[in-house]
Structure 1
Amino acid sequence: MGQIYLVRHGQASFGSANYDQLSDLGAAQARLLGEWFANAKQRFDRVVTGALRRHRQTADACFSVLPKSSIAETDWVTDPGFDEYNHHEVLVRHHPPFEDPEEVKRFLASHPKAKHAFQEIFQVAMARWMSGEHDGDYAEPWPVFRERCVAALQRLLDGADKSQNIIVFTSGGTIATLCQHLLGIGDRQVAELNWSLVNCAVTKLLYRPGHVTLSTLNNYAHLEWLGDANSITYR
């Protein structure tokens, strides 16, 4: 039986002009994951990343502390099918003032519980995107995103040997959507699951020909290793 490790990227640069960039903490989270794998003597037959910068940066930081024998550079593959949905478009279709990054900064600076207030707005924006009532407003409507994620997983399975260990560096929305596909949960549960996924947490799938199942969800024991609550982030 083969294993697929779905890794959510490390903490990105929330609130900055370029979100698609790991923070210093995000890089440290990825190195902790690499140390965890090294301690477990884990070897990977393939490494797959989405096409976003934060995906590759997470992979690079993780493997920077793993033995060279853990994976061959030639076995790295980029598949944009594992990319996140366009969170900026989802947000501004509901709240147009956030088209301006400076407005986001002003909002965050003006609220005592800024991240909580921002998440409330984003939850409503997600509900709008997933409702199916405004698909024409989005370059990638929710059903199209969902189909893209499932197709990426199927490509991975089609190209895998029956007992490979494969690691995929991707995003929370993608992982939550793949869990929906495997578990048959509703759209509302996908959004709620997405909020709970920790940066650099690991979700593991088991597969054999014609069959794939969820084994573990949102494992971040490698971040708890240090006993530092600040190492566990959700945005």
Structure 2
Amino acid sequence: MPHITLVRHGQANTEARDEVSYDRLSELGHQQAAWLGEHMQATGDRFQRVYTGAMRRHRETAMGMRAQDHAEIVEDPRLNEFAYFTLSQLMEEQHGLEVPTEREGFVRHLPTVLGAWERGEIEGVPETHAAFAARVRDAMAEIAEGQGRALVVTSGGLIGTVLRQTLALDVNGWARMCLAIQNTSVHRWQMVLSEPLLVQFNMISHLEAPERQFAQTHL
């Protein structure tokens, strides 16, 4: 039975306000990745295939986990995140929606941006929502067709989109899923009769010891 594990990257540059400066792990992000790799090694969690997006934070997380010890890493740009910073800037310029500076503000901001993107109400986007959703669906379908357990290191927005496509969520449900996904969290799917079944969401066992709870981050 094909089995797919998706991992969100470690904490990135939390001070960033654009795509390029965000795309690197913080010191804590490197530590989160190392702890996850150690946890998988200790629990005997092995993979026959490993994939990442083409972003620096994906590669750094996979290397910190020592994912290359499982299998050769295949880099696939279809597993890249959507350009949230760019979408937010365009929304502010075109619709006057200010970009929040605290996590609570993103609870209202994210579904508004995602909904406008999906409806085609933002001009000059680097990628349409339809194109993004299609590349995610295509990449996951190809991974599901492979043999052996697969590990995919990617971003929260992409994992949230896979959840949306699996559970048929509306835009608000999609946004809530994205906001809940923690850094280096683990999410698992099994394919049954060619249909994906979600069997685990947001696992962070490697961060649950009292001395590691400070490392449970969302941004």
- Asked whether the 8 Å contact 1:93–1:125 carries over to 2, the reply is no
Within a 5 Å distance, the mapping from 1:21-32 to structure 2 comes to 21-32=24-35
| Residues 127/210 of structure 1: CA separation in 2 closer, same or farther (3 Å cut) | closer
Counterpart in the other structure of 1:92? 89
Deviation at 1:133, TM superposition (A): 4.0
Within a 5 Å distance, the mapping from 1:160-171 to structure 2 comes to 160-161=146-147, 164-171=148-155
Within a 5 Å distance, the mapping from 1:1-235 to structure 2 comes to 1-16=1-16, 18-63=21-66, 70-72=69-71, 75-96=72-93, 108=101, 114-117=102-105, 120-130=108-118, 132-134=119-121, 136-158=123-145, 160-161=146-147, 164-208=148-192, 210-235=194-219
Q: 2: CA distance between counterparts of 1:122 and 1:184? A: 18
Could you say what secondary structure the match of 2:104 adopts? Answer: helix
Deviation at 1:226, TM superposition (A): 4.5
- Asked whether the 8 Å contact 2:110–2:175 carries over to 1, the reply is no
- Asked whether the 8 Å contact 1:49–1:170 carries over to 2, the reply is yes
Deviation at 1:125, TM superposition (A): 2.6
Whichever residue aligns with residue 127 of structure 1, its letter is G
Could you say what secondary structure the match of 1:42 adopts? Answer: coil
Whichever residue aligns with residue 177 of structure 2, its letter is L
Q: 1: CA distance between counterparts of 2:112 and 2:171? A: 13
Aligned length: 213
- What TM-score comes out, normalization by structure 1 length? 0.82
The CA deviation string for residues 135-175 of structure 1, in whole angstroms up to 9 with x for no partner, is: 543221222211111111012123x12xx111000011111
Could you say what secondary structure the match of 1:156 adopts? Answer: helix
- Asked whether the 8 Å contact 1:91–1:126 carries over to 2, the reply is no
- What TM-score comes out, normalization by structure 2 length? 0.88
The CA deviation string for residues 178-226 of structure 1, in whole angstroms up to 9 with x for no partner, is: 1111111212100111000001000001125623211101111211135
| Residues 226/2 of structure 1: CA separation in 2 closer, same or farther (3 Å cut) | farther
- Asked whether the 8 Å contact 1:10–1:26 carries over to 2, the reply is yes
Q: 2: CA distance between counterparts of 1:27 and 1:149? A: 26
Q: Which runs of 5+ in 2 are unaligned?
A: none
